[in-house]
Amino acid sequence: VVEVISYVYPIWANYTTGVEDGGFIYGSEYQIDLYPTNKLFSFANAKSLYDHNVPCAVCLTRQPAVVMMLPARTECYPGWLTEYSGYLMTEAHYHKGRHEYVCVDHAPEADPAGYRNENGALLYFIQAICGSLPCPPYVNGQELTCVVCSKY
């Protein structure tokens, strides 16, 4: 059973009303316009992804569970349940700052509300780069898969 929350409103404390010289937060966008995505993603849930906003997903379980994301795998370990599998994505390697790796479903969705192309938080495919990452078993330039697994 999946619960969908249409709008999640922030709960404010003290704040200023102007834009200051601090950090900013943006919604995430798919940034894969020149990529041969037709070979990687299924477009069952969205016909276009480029510059579209990425909707948020949360795993809901009925009882306490452990949920983990495994990079470079499409299957969970024995005894674990597969929640979904797809491709590992993050900011481009030349973007400054800390990057978080996100497992995006193999049939990604786009926010039906449209997009604004703010280029604030962008998702790109992650490719293996040989060196400190051993090749084999990895292949230089190959996109990494991922799987999200749970155990009760």
Question: pLDDT, tens digit, for every residue of 85-140?
Answer: 999 988 887 776 667 888 999 988 887 776 788 877 788 888 898 888 888 898 98
Q: Identify the CA nearest to 109 among candidates 30, 45, 24, 57.
A: 45
Instruction: Please state whether the predicted TM-score (pTM) of the whole model is above 0.85.
Output: no
Distance CA 123, CA 89 (A): 6
Q: Identify the CA nearest to 144 among candidates 123, 122, 126.
A: 126
Distance CA 152, CA 80 (A): 8
**Tell me: the pLDDT tens digits for 25-43?**
566 777 777 666 667 777 7
Specify the residue for token string 């192309």: 117
